[in-house]
A = this chain, B = another copy of it.
Amino acid sequence: MTTPLQNDRLLRALRRQPVDVTPVWLMRQAGRYLPEYRATRARAGDFMRLCQTPELACEVTLQPLARFPLDAAILFSDILTVPDAMGLGLSFSEGEGPRFARPVRSARDIEQLSVPDPEVELRYVMDAVRLIRRELNGQVPLIGFAGSPWTLATYMVEGASSKDYAQVKGLLYDQPKALHRLLEVTTQAVIAYLNAQLAAGAQALMVFDTWGGVLTPRAYREFSLAYLARIVADLAHKTGDERAPVILFTKGGGAWLEAIAATGCEAVGIDWMVELGEARRRIGDQVAVQGNLDPAVLYAAPDHIRQQVTEVLTDFGPGPGHVFNLGHGVQPGVNPEHVRVLVEAVHELSKPYHSGVGR
């Protein structure tokens, strides 16, 4: 576990320290667009077994790193493992849509929830983290992650993916105190889960607030951001070591970047609906920014991918504090060779923005 890190670009960029080239990793870099992922997934039988078998989770985590010169690995798992460990009974139906057998619908349901012990109910995740760290052997850092309490709550209350959030927003507008109790226990679960990932070896953390952007500004501050801030504040600092950087990402949260940056996180994830130069001007003096290529660019021809990479790099401009990523996950229909073009283009085309940094 103490193998020195051979590539620390990600951690340096997240701390806004100089780097030789802009580090790049991609949300869902391990996923259905890779034939080797689909093969492992088929071997696992179902998606939950893939998440719950540390050897298989490790295998798919490492698959994109074997193909592309990525600067980070991200734990392969699902944000819904936490509510599953809270007793909601997660399964994935055809098309991989999540479903909870016991969704949370009433104040009484909420009272019965408790915080799982990450080394018991979520032991399989911690074993995967330990195994991945061992297998990575210092090649690149490992990012751990969790869903935001609000985002988890949407699934816990709706019981599945939702188009209009009727149930959870009904709770929000009708019984805000009950929703706060749900978010409180979920926040405690997320903090314990992320701290356990750090203890198991995660070197950076990301919190995915996938559905924060469906809230009004007032509701976002009260029901999502407040809990993101709690998570950032309550993560365990390692003694005698630098804090593992925390990246917060609210999809559709472009209006609230300043408030997200003010939580004390090290970096803010940016979707493609915000121009990266604007994001930098607004929050770049406090945090690193991660993003923000439109994932659909990966459907375009290689020349056009390189051109769009150039635009993102130009938007951010010279100097440290940028982690290249998509504005959302790699889509399943993408040609893996296009991902290679993207990753190589970031390293090649970002050199001029880091001149003077010898490595």
Task: Using CB atoms and an 8 Å cutoff, list the residues of chain A in contact with chain B.
Answer: 164-166, 169-170, 172-174, 213-219, 252, 254-255, 272-275, 278, 294-297, 299-301, 304, 308, 311, 331, 333
Q: Which residues of B contact A255 (CB under 8 A)?
A: 254-255, 273-274
A154 to chain B, nearest CB (A): 11
11 intermolecular pairs with C-beta atoms under 8 Å apart = A164-B296, A164-B331, A169-B299, A170-B299, A173-B299, A173-B300, A173-B304, A213-B273, A214-B273, A217-B278, A218-B311
A64 to B274, CA, bound (A): 38
Known A-B contacts A252-B252, A254-B255, A301-B174; the reply to A217 vs B273 at CB < 8 A is yes
A266 to chain B, nearest CB (A): 24
Could you say which of B166, B169, B300, B331 contacts A174, with CB atoms under 8 Å apart?
B300
Q: Which residues of B contact A216 (CB under 8 A)?
A: 272-273, 275, 294
Q: Which residues of B contact A164 (CB under 8 A)?
A: 295-296, 331, 333
Copies per complex?
Answer: 2
Least CB separation from A271: chain B residue: B216
A165 to B272, CA, bound (A): 14
A46 to B213, CA, bound (A): 34
A189 to chain B, nearest CB (A): 25
A274 to B173, CA, bound (A): 18
A52 to chain B, nearest CB (A): 27
B217 touches A275 (CB 8 A): yes
Question: 13 more A-B contacts (CB under 8 A) besides A164-B296, A173-B299, A173-B304?
Answer: A165-B296, A169-B296, A173-B294, A174-B300, A214-B273, A216-B273, A216-B275, A217-B274, A218-B275, A218-B311, A252-B252, A252-B273, A254-B254
Q: Which residues of B contact A295 (CB under 8 A)?
A: 164
Least CB separation from A176: chain B residue: B304
A292 to chain B, nearest CB (A): 8
Could you say which of B173, B254, B272 contacts A308, with CB atoms under 8 Å apart?
B173
Q: Which residues of B contact A308 (CB under 8 A)?
A: 173
Least CB separation from A305: chain B residue: B173
A300 touches B170 (CB 8 A): yes
B304 touches A166 (CB 8 A): no
Q: Which residues of B contact A252 (CB under 8 A)?
A: 252, 273
A272 to B165, CA, bound (A): 14
Q: Which residues of B contact A274 (CB under 8 A)?
A: 217, 255
A281 to B295, CA, bound (A): 33
Could you say which of B170, B219, B296 contacts A170, with CB atoms under 8 Å apart?
B296
- In order of increasing CB-CB distance, the 8 nearest A-B pairs are A169-B296, A173-B300, A170-B299, A174-B300, A217-B275, A216-B272, A173-B304, A164-B331
A298 to chain B, nearest CB (A): 9
A174 touches B304 (CB 8 A): yes
A213 to B274, CA, bound (A): 11
Q: Which residues of B contact A294 (CB under 8 A)?
A: 169, 173, 216, 219
Could you say which of B169, B213, B254, B299 contacts A166, with CB atoms under 8 Å apart?
B299
A199 to B137, CA, bound (A): 72
A107 to chain B, nearest CB (A): 15
